[in-house]
Amino acid sequence: MTAGTAGTAGTAGAAGAAARSGTAGAGAAGDEGREMHALVERLYPLCRSITGDGVRRTLDIVGESVPLRVREVPTGTPVLDWTVPKEWNVRDAYVKDASGRRVVDFAASNLHVVGYSVPVSATMTLAELRPHLHTLPEQPGLVPYRTSYYAETWGFCLAENTLAALPEGRYEVRIDATLADGHLTYGEHVVPGRTSEEVLVSCHVCHPSLANDNLAGIAVATRLARRLAGTDPHYTYRFLFAPGTIGAITWLALNRERAGLIRHGLVLACAGDRGHLTYKRSRRGDAAVDRAAAHVLRASGRPHEIVDFSPYGYDERQFCSPGFDLPVGCLTRTPYAGYPEYHTSADDPGFVTPEAMTDTLEACWEITRVLEGDRRHLNLSPYGEPQLGRRGLYGSLGGRSDTKQAQMAMLWVLNLSGGDHGLLDIAERSGLPFHVVADAARDLRAAGLLKELA
């Protein structure tokens, strides 16, 4: 995950998000949406970072829903051009005024401590303390999220309003933390398929109390894995729950050969706000997952945006680095830094909704349905148009609300099934929804007019 600040100033919290256009969801979220939101609420208080016990506890909780293989990679391990850093854990942190009152308190919000702050215990004047205090003057009521992963320093984050109210005087400063040799931790869940070729679904687990930029993606990925269980998929689905940037780099370094099995991939982030869905293409730009995502979003009628790849954002930039060049895109709602609540205390469980997470989940599911169903076929009666009526194919469509679409789909599938077009190709060229094309192919196979190719 790239570092960044909140977007342009605006109304914070869920009310501000609701005012934006492109709101998600039609109808109630249902049980899945409520369960995803409950998972967000449960994970929200944990203090996560790129290493440490918060990541382990997060993976423990996710592991209650889907079994995880957890990997611990020691500090100092070379991973591509990087090295696994020291492990950071924080127990308590505060700034106390002269009366002993905690004016900044880690126990109230883990955002108050700059991530990876070194231990400190001192008394200092406000002037001496100020260089270590971080606020958002343009959003004076919010606490920002800041980190210092690779430079040993320390700091606190607080609301600008709180800072403005601090009187001159001496303050007790305490960060009870450890920064020492340890491990980087990530988890994997695998849904076995009929082939060893893989679909990668990745989300980052390194942010502290940020509901949309972190936890909603975890919740959607977990629920998608549960949906896939027992479906006997064609592809093997690998779900990666890893710290941003260094976690993906570590996984790639330890899985160079396995990375070659990845045929499609999605990075999930910012999956629960009320903005419309945004898909960022892979570096290739025309990978099957890029086309599948574009087709699903277009055919569904959802408000959405499709953007080209750039080497900035979430871990798609690691998977799409030129040495790997994997076909991995990124699915979000409002992209990073695109909403005022981004990387602030306003990104709380009230900012994400069950309906939005359900909509994101459905989009992911529909994309997997396209990837699973995209097969090439051979027309077994290619000379002239075969007579569909005497095979009962037209009659079988009677009473369907999409009878005309289904008839056209049969004709398109027959015409383009010379072995060199997949069903997604046909859906794109015909302008028909993929599921209608796939249903037509199924019926034509059953009638002996079509043969699925390996």
Can you tell me the distance from the alpha carbon of 415 to that of 409, in angstroms, rounded to the nearest whole number?
A: 10
CB 110 within 8 A of CB 104: no
Instruction: For helices 423-430 and 403-416, give the axis angle rounded to 10 degrees.
Output: 120
The DSSP symbol for 343 reads T
Which tokens go with 240? Answer: 């990666």
Q: Are 116 and 148 in contact (CB under 8 A)?
A: yes
* Cβ atoms of 453 and 378 closer than 8 Å: yes
343 is in an annotated binding site: yes
Helix, strand, or coil (residue 390): helix
For 22-87, give the DSSP string: S---SS--HHHHHHHHHHHHHHTTS---SSSHHHHHHHHHHTTTS--EEEEEETT-EETTEE---E
207 is in an annotated binding site: yes
213 is in an annotated binding site: yes
Is residue 359 a contact partner of residue 223, using CB atoms and an 8 Å limit? no
Binding residues for Zn(2+): 207, 213, 343
Binding residues: 207, 213, 343
